[in-house]
Amino acid sequence: MEFLVFGHGYTASYLTPLLLAEGWTVTGTTRDGPDRVAAAGAVPLIWPGQEAALRDAIQRADAILISAAPDPATGDPVLAAFRDDLRYAHPRWIGYLSTTGVYGDRGGDWVDESSPLDGTGTRAKARIKAEADWRALADQAGLPLHIFRLAGIYGPGRGPFQKVSQGTARRIIKPGQIFSRIHVEDLAQVLLASIHAPSPGTAYNVCDDNPAPPEDVIAHAAELLNLPLPPAEDFATAEMTPMARSFYADSKRVRNDRIRRDLGVTLRYPDYRSGLAALLAKEGLEGNVS
């Protein structure tokens, strides 16, 4: 069984070992050298660069994961380069990694997979268009597409502990702000569960059970480290880059019923408290660089 990943990054580095344990061969694209992909156990392909090999891999693939982000100006890079090749591919599963940002701002209210895609930011609009473009190709070519709308991903190498310990963590307060999150190990097990039980055309929200204000996560990390609580900063007056400020544009709670009901997933880390405790216990401070 051959698995192809477009954009073999953080998420794929946790999915790949699960696939290898089941006998898959995994090939993953990278733009910045083969070492990181090879370290996860996948066969690296440089893209852009090795397009001919990628075209062969598309035709051989039993499953394909698209983790490459769309460009707001040019659209989805995989479709731009390989749309015609995908028309003649025969995978039994395709997964597209999108974002819960497609739902836009709901003022802290709940959304599920049936909610309208109302994202207004540049990145959200690009994701909405990419989802639509993938669905259009899937309908035309009969491809078994699955869409995964991901909350904020955290895990080893993506935790708050080092910033808290160095005194650089910021506890930005925006009243009513709510985010959803997902531990990368739970994300990987959701993808594997879908591969085991394909349901073409389905979208899944991938998040934990506990949407929470971002300042609560920083505060809990400080508590776990027995360090002082970082000072509160008012969002309205805090000095932030436009990119950082844009993450606070949307506030919503995301339902994850479908991954539990339809895929039978039991989250290992159903809230940030269990996730952060596991990170600290498993790797210590050195393993949790924000």
Tens of pLDDT, residue by residue over 244-261, are 899 899 999 999 999 999
214-240 b/e with 16+ CB inside 10 Å = b?
bbebbbbbbebbeeeebeebeeeebee
Bridge partners of 146, per DSSP, are 95
Residues linked to residue 149 through DSSP beta bridges, in sequence order = 98, 205
Domain 2-159+181-209+253-271 of CATH type 3.40.50.300: no
- Report, as an integer, the average pLDDT of 167-196: 97
Percent of the chain exceeding pLDDT 70 equals: 97
Quick one: pLDDT band at residue 288, thresholds 50, 70, 90?
Answer: very low
Collapsing DSSP to helix, strand or coil, 103 comes out as helix
pLDDT tens per residue, range 85-143? 999 999 999 999 999 999 999 999 999 999 999 999 999 999 999 999 999 999 999 99
Question: Which two three-digit tokens encode residue 261?
Answer: 């009901």
Q: Which residues pair with 21 in a beta bridge?
A: none
What value does the mean pLDDT of the chain take?
95
Residue 84 has pLDDT above 80, yes or no: yes
Contacts of the segment 46-54: beta carbons below 8 A, 24+ positions apart = 47/6, 47/81, 48/81, 51/81, 54/29, 54/82
Q: Residue 162 — pLDDT band, cuts 50, 70, 90?
A: confident
| Helices and strands (H and E) in the chain: how many | 11, 13
Give the predicted TM-score (pTM) of the model. 0.95
Q: In sequence order, what are the beta bridge partners of 66?
A: 6, 96
Q: What is the pLDDT of residue 284?
A: 64
Beta bridge mates, 45:
29
Residues in the chain: 290
Radius of gyration of the CA atoms of the chain, in A: 19
Residue 2 DSSP SS3: strand
Give domain limits for the chain: 2-159+181-209+253-271
Look at residue 32 in the predicted model and tell me its pLDDT: 87
Q: Which three-class secondary structure state does DSSP give residue 19?
A: helix
